[in-house]
Amino acid sequence: AQSVTQLDSQVPVFEEAPVELRCNYSSSVSVYLFWYVQYPNQGLQLLLKYLSGSTLVKGINGFEAEFNKSQTSFHLRKPSVHISDTAEYFCAVSLTQGGSEKLVFGKGTKLTVNP
């Protein structure tokens, strides 16, 4: 079975501090990986995605993630967070299951940026 594990359900940080949100996946085949962000009372929107090529992926709002095949990880990082980054972040893996293609999401990590 293929799944996504987000190791931290909540991450509090202070404004301008660096942050890393961890994501591990389990898969025996090639994967496509995504990070989505959900601001309060809104739908999810794409931050970044890894399909192939460079293992360091840059996304919107200064976020980046690194694909590490040997550690089956896809951690999200930002060197300096803002109050406006307070949101829930979801890691997802795209896979083929039973002949159909779908995104499987992790349980999410709530990032709270404090002044």
Partner 1 sequence: DAGVIQSPRHEVTEMGQEVTLRCKPISGHDYLFWYRQTMMRGLELLIYFNNNVPIDDSGMPEDRFSAKMPNASFSTLKIQPSEPRDSAVYFCASSFGRGRTDTQYFGPGTRLTVL
Residues that bind partner 1 (CB under 8 A): 32, 36, 41-46, 49, 51, 90, 94-96, 98, 100-108
Q: How far is the CB of 25 from partner 1 (least distance, A)?
A: 15
Question: Closer CB to partner 1, residue 17 or residue 60?
Answer: 60
Question: Closer CB to partner 1, residue 19 or residue 44?
Answer: 44
30 class by beta-carbon count within 10 Å (0-12 exposed, 13-18 middle, 19+ buried): exposed
Q: How far is the CB of 115 from partner 1 (least distance, A)?
A: 27
Question: Closer CB to partner 1, residue 29 or residue 115?
Answer: 29
Say what the alpha-carbon torsion angle 78, 88, 101, 1 is, to the nearest 10 degrees: 90
Q: How far is the CB of 107 from partner 1 (least distance, A)?
A: 4
Task: Tell me which long-range contacts 97-104 makes (C-beta under 8 A, separation of at least 24).
Answer: 97/2, 103/34, 104/2, 104/3, 104/4
Question: Closer CB to partner 1, residue 14 or residue 39?
Answer: 39
Q: How far is the CB of 75 from partner 1 (least distance, A)?
A: 19
Q: Which H or E run includes 68?
A: strand 64-68
